A and B are shown apart, each in its own frame.
Chain A
Amino acid sequence: MIDTLFGNLAIFILSLLVGVEVISKIPSTLHTPMMSAANAIHGVVIAGAIVIASVANSPAAYVLTFIAAVLAAANVFGGYVVTDRMLQMFTRPHPAPAPATDAKVAS
């Protein structure tokens, strides 16, 4: 048990260092999409929801599985979709004039 813990701790610490290294190189221009992308990544907790679903055997466990699944799936899908939507605006090849947006703004 203590071996597992040590291995996991080592992975945790090294990942923190990698995270600091990678993220400190991201320009402030992209900080909002980056925060949103990091947000989507922590949706990986959905893996936890899957594991608890497979061991669930009581009403309480089913309810908790359901709650965890709703929350984690919203996190994963929403996070990636909204980040993609933001980044697509940054990478648009040729900025078109914006008549369509004018209509929206008028509302």
Chain B
Amino acid sequence: MSMFEFLVGIFYLGAATLFVVGLHKMRAPSTARQGNLISAGGMAIAVLTTIVFALVDFGGNWIGWGALVVGAAVGASYGVIRARTVKMTAIPQLVSVFNAVGGGAAAAVAFADFVANLSRASLDLTISIPVVLDVLIGSITFSGSLIAAGKLQGIISGKPLTFPGARVLNVIVALIAVGSGVLLLIVPPNLLILLVIMIASLVFGVLMVLPIGGADAPVIVSLLNAFTGLAVAMAGFAIDNQALIIAGALVGAAGTILTLQMAKAMNRSVGAIILGGFGTGDTATAGGSEAVDLTNVRELTADDVAIQLAYAQHVIIAPGYGLAAAQAQHEVAELAKLLTDHGIDVKYAIHPVAGRMPGHMNVLLAEANVPYEQMLQLDEANAAFDNCDVALVVGANDVCNPDARKPGNAVSGMPILDVDHAKSVVVLKRSMRPGYAGITNPLFTDPKTGMFFADAKKGLADITTAVKEYVTA
């Protein structure tokens, strides 16, 4: 190893250290932003080091560097504009798109590395194996993440899309991709085979995500994020770059952990989501279960809810998917602020999968200026419900279904918010339709529960108006 190579290695090590320190600082909201900046600093070091290294070791020509600079300018502009203008409710889709481009970039890098070595009679396995894996994983991530983003955005139906023979086609495409991959390892470098691998992988990504329901899409985003990490690490193996290997492994670990936690919070296995996504969940609710028995339901008006809230001491709000979908975070924050201004203690109980991805609800509430101390995680919230006068459930369903404590149904064993431990419960919901799990919720017919049927945004605004009458009178 020359002195120069040693220095390059040291700088890469420094960049990798900053990535780890940056992620480490994300364990508390007070240091998280700093952590992100530290990680960005690591990125700057990695990029500058690579530029110097590439100029000294390879030199290159102006067309290659020109393509890089123009491409980077285009990509950076797109990324910055989207990142600055995106609505906080659309964050999961955007994360998925950025994930897609990362996977695509990894595949493109491996592809280019392969093209550069085309003239050789044979390729060393230490290069060809990562190249094949990279094109495979990167392409699957690219197309799969774009489909997942489309589902979250509503461009592509959130329902599981499936057709006769889909599974068979899936297996055939997978076999073509893997088969060509193995073939490429034993024959001389052949561009056509690599193209087949790429196209088959792209198709596989589409086929893998299409049958997955919209509510499961965030789990897939997280899983594909882990894939991208692996793809980037593979690209690192292919071009012998430690910064890529370390960063890729970190992301792979992050995606894997998050995927497992999400699946646990949704009471499903990752395997069931990928394979069992074929027709479960969403289709159950889409079926004709509209005819719900309303006889035991106590229906409230905005005024009734306002009286309960205005005379309470401790209120806990449990926001759910319905709140995120209606983009009602500002309305709920306004109501909470009105109540706290009049001496009522208001907290938010946030289930790990309450938004559209884990922690998404916290982002939405933070956007609406909700103080961090008011957001309770699952365990803290459940301890607080026993001392709570009114639990206000907004657009959440399965995450507060008491049936989860009983065996033998779709949500059995799922960790839930114990809203039924509060002295009274108000559920703000558009209708009695069951949620994602497709089962009824006994909470809604509980004698201490009142139902307020409305869109989250309008309903909360109406309650706020009504509360003003009581607290200002």
A-to-B contact residues, CB < 8 Å: 1-2, 4-5, 8, 11-13, 15-20, 22-58, 60-92, 95-98, 101-102, 104-105
Q: Is the CB of A82 within 8 A of B360?
A: no
By the criterion CB–CB under 8 Å, are A54 and B239 in contact?
A: no
Q: Inside 8 A of B33's CB, which chain A residues have their CB?
A: 84, 87-88, 90-91
- Chain B residues contacting A54 (CB-CB under 8 Å) are 54-55, 57-60, 64-65
A53, B375: Cα distance in complex, Å: 47
A95 to B339, CA, bound (A): 16
CA of A18 to CA of B228 in the docked complex: distance in angstroms? 18
In the complex, residue of chain B having the shortest beta-carbon distance to the beta carbon of A80? B40
Collect the chain A residues with CB atoms within 8 Å of residue B115's CB: 58, 60-61, 64
Q: Summarize A's interface: helix, strand, loop or mixed.
A: helix
Binary interface profile of B, 349-389, with partner A (CB < 8 Å = 1, else 0)? 01010010111101100111111100101100000000000
How many A-B Cβ pairs are below 8 Å? 423
Q: Across the interface, which residues of A come within 8 angstroms of B459, CB to CB? A: none
Task: Tell me the minimal C-beta distance from A88 to chain B in angstroms.
Answer: 6
B contact set with A: CB distance below 8 Å: 15-16, 19-20, 22-24, 26-30, 32-33, 35-37, 39-40, 43, 46-47, 50-51, 53-55, 57-61, 63-65, 67-76, 78-80, 82-84, 86, 88, 91-92, 94-95, 98-99, 101-102, 104-106, 108-109, 111-113, 115-116, 124, 126, 222, 225, 228-229, 231-233, 235-237, 239-258, 261, 327, 330-331, 333-334, 337, 350, 352, 355, 357-360, 362-363, 366-372, 375, 377-378, 457
Query: How far is A18 from B128 in the complex, measured between Cα atoms in Å?
Result: 27
- A56, B63: Cβ atoms under 8 Å? yes
Beyond A4-B126, A70-B75: 20 further Cβ-contacts under 8 Å? A11-B246, A15-B248, A29-B359, A29-B362, A29-B372, A35-B254, A35-B255, A43-B43, A51-B241, A57-B61, A68-B105, A71-B75, A72-B109, A74-B98, A77-B80, A81-B83, A82-B91, A85-B83, A87-B32, A91-B29
Residues of chain A lying within 8 A (CB to CB) of residue B250 = 15, 18-19, 22-23, 38, 41
Determine if B32 and A73 form an interchain contact, defined as CB atoms under 8 angstroms apart: no
Q: Evaluate contact between A47 and B244: CB separation under 8 angstroms.
A: yes
A89 to chain B, nearest CB (A): 4
A35 in contact with B258 (CB, 8 Å): yes
Known: A51-B241, A54-B54. A34 touches B253 (CB 8 A): no
Assess whether A53 is in contact with B94, with CB atoms less than 8 Å apart.
no
In the complex, are the beta carbons of A16 and B252 less than 8 A apart?
A: yes
User: Would you list 27 pairs from A and B whose C-beta atoms are within 8 A, ordered by A residue?
Assistant: A8-B242, A19-B23, A19-B251, A23-B250, A28-B358, A29-B350, A34-B254, A34-B359, A37-B35, A38-B255, A42-B232, A44-B43, A45-B102, A48-B244, A51-B58, A53-B54, A68-B71, A69-B67, A74-B101, A75-B75, A77-B75, A77-B79, A77-B83, A84-B36, A85-B84, A97-B369, A105-B330
Main secondary structure of the interface of B (DSSP, over half): helix
Residues from chain B with a CB closer than 8 A to the CB of A24 are: 257
Docked-complex contact B95 and A72, CB < 8 angstroms: no
Question: Closest approach, in angstroms, between the C-beta of A8 and any C-beta of chain B?
Answer: 6
The CA-CA distance from A41 to B233 in the complex, in Å, is: 12
> With a CB–CB cut-off of 8 A, which chain A residues contact B457?
105
Residues of chain A with a CB closer than 8 A to B28's CB: 27
Is B367's CB under 8 angstroms from A45's CB? no
**Alpha-carbon separation in the docked complex, A33 to B55 (Å):** 35
A32 surroundings in chain B (CB, below 8 A): 91-92, 95, 355, 357-360, 362-363
The answer on a CB contact under 8 Å between A53 and B36 is no
A26 to B: closest C-beta gap in Å: 5
A64 to B252: give the CA distance in the assembly, Å.
Answer: 25
Asked if residues B46 and A44 are in contact (CB atoms below 8 Å), the reply is yes
Chain B residue with Cβ nearest A31: B359
Q: How far is the CA of A56 from the CA of B72 in the complex (A)?
A: 16
Chain B residues near A86 (CB-CB < 8 A): 88, 91, 363, 366
Shortest beta-carbon distance, A18 to chain B, in Å? Answer: 6
Q: Given the interface contacts A29-B350, A54-B54, A77-B79, does A40 sit within 8 Å of B43 by beta carbon?
A: yes
Look across to chain A and name the residue whose beta carbon is closest to the beta carbon of B248: A42
Closest B-chain residue to A102, C-beta based? B330
B109 touches A68 (CB 8 A): yes
Q: Is the CB of A46 within 8 A of B36?
A: no
A75 near B50: Cβ-Cβ < 8 Å: no
